[in-house]
A and B are shown apart, each in its own frame.
Chain A
């Protein structure tokens, strides 16, 4: 495997791992964010998981479509910075927004569903776009596409597992929720920068010729 190819693949896998990590870390913190307004009942978790699943499924769909147009590592980086930017209002205006929802929805089930939707849908959907796009960047030959996709899911889901574990076992014990969220935003921006820099270095279009 040429060295440039190898660098690209490692970059994609590292970034996919990070995005898996961040998705689950944010999902776990989501429960904490909603609890002061909607409680920590089972339906609050139901709302969060639903919103994340729906957001991810649309993310996969859109990410897959976007991967059709001249896929490139630099474009890949924009998913990360877009997720970072759309997560900022969640941190800054989360309370105001939940207050607004709380006043309008008496039933905490629909209140928490709407609040989770408004707070987490967009950044999560964007993070979801990363997975299919990663596959596109990694696949060179059709016959290996299954293996590549398997490897990618392996890495990103391991990232999710680690994000879940570290957040729930240690981060919440050491930091405030917003400190963790801001760190995630910074990590996403770093991912963006890495993608841009590596893209510059490699300077080749990736994947099979379309």
Chain B
């Protein structure tokens, strides 16, 4: 018994080695843990500390964008470099919306987050600030999108980032939901979605997005488990246009030490997925099960 206890203690201390827990909170949906390690403060959605970090900020340098996938989401702007009205589903630490509204003074954004505790933690620990440019809505992304469609709202930039490492809201990964999102886009409006690179879900997800949007940019970078999808309501720009846009945005992203040019060669428009995979619909949406396959 004593040995068992000692082993448990040892395992716990190994698991949390180096991570200082700053804040812990049980929300309606998950356990939220804020950790600090090596100058980075991270938001973790799990009981176990070794699970994937949801978002991280550099404590000493807030302009340092720690996560590769966040930088990859910014690369989506190469398809529509001057957004004015944005919608983001899933807020994480709030970094993305803060950076975007900082770069674009004319950009207003609706930020949709299902979990009120995430908004609170983002505010208390990740420096998220509501500004006149940002509206936060605590509601389900699907419900918000449906209501927005009824209000005939239009966005030229929609970012979908509602997936944690361990759970995917399945009703946010179906043809019907994406049709709803597409109807919210202005002509030339774009959707940027943070998705998974691995598992057979990759194929299903790709097939589903291309069924709704047609050709996509699929952006993967070495060393990340993420794939960012960029789709538009109009024809996708060619590589020269992307490069030109990257040059144009260079001064805006300089303070964040991001050079969007490096993403252009990896923005792939040829399907590298199995195109015969089953579509995800409201009738068939076992995304979490497919991920394990």
**Complex Cα gap A179–B283 (Å):** 9
Write the nearest CB–CB distance from A38 to chain B, whole angstroms: 6
A35 touches B286 (CB 8 A): no
Interface check A207, CB cutoff 8 A: no
The interface size bin for chain A is 20 to 34
A-B contact pairs, 24 of them (CB 8 A): A35-B142, A36-B142, A36-B174, A36-B177, A36-B282, A37-B146, A38-B143, A39-B139, A39-B140, A39-B143, A39-B171, A40-B140, A40-B169, A42-B28, A102-B146, A103-B150, A108-B139, A172-B285, A173-B286, A175-B284, A176-B283, A176-B284, A177-B282, A177-B283
Q: Name the B residues within 8 Å of A39 (CB-CB).
A: 114, 139-143, 171
Q: Name the A residues within 8 Å of B29 (CB-CB).
A: 41-42
Q: Name the A residues within 8 Å of B259 (CB-CB).
A: none
**Complex Cα gap A153–B114 (Å):** 38
Interface check A75, CB cutoff 8 A: no
A41 touches B114 (CB 8 A): yes
**Complex Cα gap A169–B285 (Å):** 13
**Complex Cα gap A42–B116 (Å):** 13
Which chain A residue has the least Cβ–Cβ distance from B27? A42
Chain A interface, DSSP helix/strand/loop, else mixed: helix
Q: Name the A residues within 8 Å of B150 (CB-CB).
A: 103
Contact with A along B70-82 (1 / 0, CB 8 A): 0000000000000
Interface check A183, CB cutoff 8 A: no
Interface check B1, CB cutoff 8 A: no
Interface check B290, CB cutoff 8 A: yes
Interface check A178, CB cutoff 8 A: yes
Which chain A residue has the least Cβ–Cβ distance from B290? A173
**B residues in contact (CB < 8 Å) with A:** 28-29, 114, 139-143, 146, 150, 169-171, 174, 176-177, 281-286, 289-290
Question: Which residues from 88 to 108 on chain A have a C-beta closer than 8 Å to any C-beta of chain B?
Answer: 102-103, 108
**Complex Cα gap A173–B289 (Å):** 7
**A residues in contact (CB < 8 Å) with B:** 32, 35-42, 102-103, 108, 169, 172-173, 175-179
Q: A39-B171, A102-B146 are in contact. Are A32 and B285 (CB under 8 A)?
A: yes
Write the nearest CB–CB distance from A109 to chain B, whole angstroms: 11
Q: Other than A35-B170, A39-B139, A177-B283, give 6 A-B pairs with Cβ distance below 8 A.
A: A35-B282, A36-B174, A36-B282, A40-B140, A176-B284, A177-B282
**Complex Cα gap A108–B146 (Å):** 12
**Complex Cα gap A169–B290 (Å):** 11
Which chain B residue has the least Cβ–Cβ distance from A39? B140
Q: A41-B140, A173-B289 are in contact. Are A35 and B171 (CB under 8 A)?
A: yes
**Complex Cα gap A38–B169 (Å):** 13
**Complex Cα gap A102–B29 (Å):** 23
**Complex Cα gap A41–B138 (Å):** 11
Q: A36-B171, A42-B28 are in contact. Are A172 and B142 (CB under 8 A)?
A: no
Q: Name the A residues within 8 Å of B143 (CB-CB).
A: 37-39, 108
Most A-side CB within 10 Å, residue of B114, B169, B283, B285: B283
Which of B140, B283, B285 contacts A178, CB < 8 Å?
B283
Q: Name the B residues within 8 Å of A173 (CB-CB).
A: 286, 289-290
Q: Name the B residues within 8 Å of A38 (CB-CB).
A: 140, 143
Write the nearest CB–CB distance from A163 to chain B, whole angstroms: 17
Which chain A residue has the least Cβ–Cβ distance from B284? A176
Q: Name the A residues within 8 Å of B283 (CB-CB).
A: 176-179
Q: Name the A residues within 8 Å of B174 (CB-CB).
A: 36
Q: A35-B170, A36-B177, A41-B140 are in contact. Are A176 and B281 (CB under 8 A)?
A: yes
B290 touches A40 (CB 8 A): no
Write the nearest CB–CB distance from B172 to chain A, whole angstroms: 9
Which chain B residue has the least Cβ–Cβ distance from A111? B143
Which of B141, B169, B176, B286 contacts A172, CB < 8 Å?
B286
Which chain B residue has the least Cβ–Cβ distance from A32? B285
Write the nearest CB–CB distance from B204 to chain A, whole angstroms: 11
Most A-side CB within 10 Å, residue of B140, B177, B281: B140
**Complex Cα gap A172–B288 (Å):** 11
Write the nearest CB–CB distance from B180 to chain A, whole angstroms: 9
**Complex Cα gap A176–B176 (Å):** 14
The 6 closest A-B pairs by CB, nearest first: A39-B140, A176-B283, A35-B171, A173-B286, A172-B286, A36-B282
**Complex Cα gap A32–B174 (Å):** 12
A108 touches B176 (CB 8 A): no
B177 touches A108 (CB 8 A): no
Which chain A residue has the least Cβ–Cβ distance from B171? A35
Which chain A residue has the least Cβ–Cβ distance from B140? A39
A40 touches B170 (CB 8 A): yes
Write the nearest CB–CB distance from B112 to chain A, whole angstroms: 11
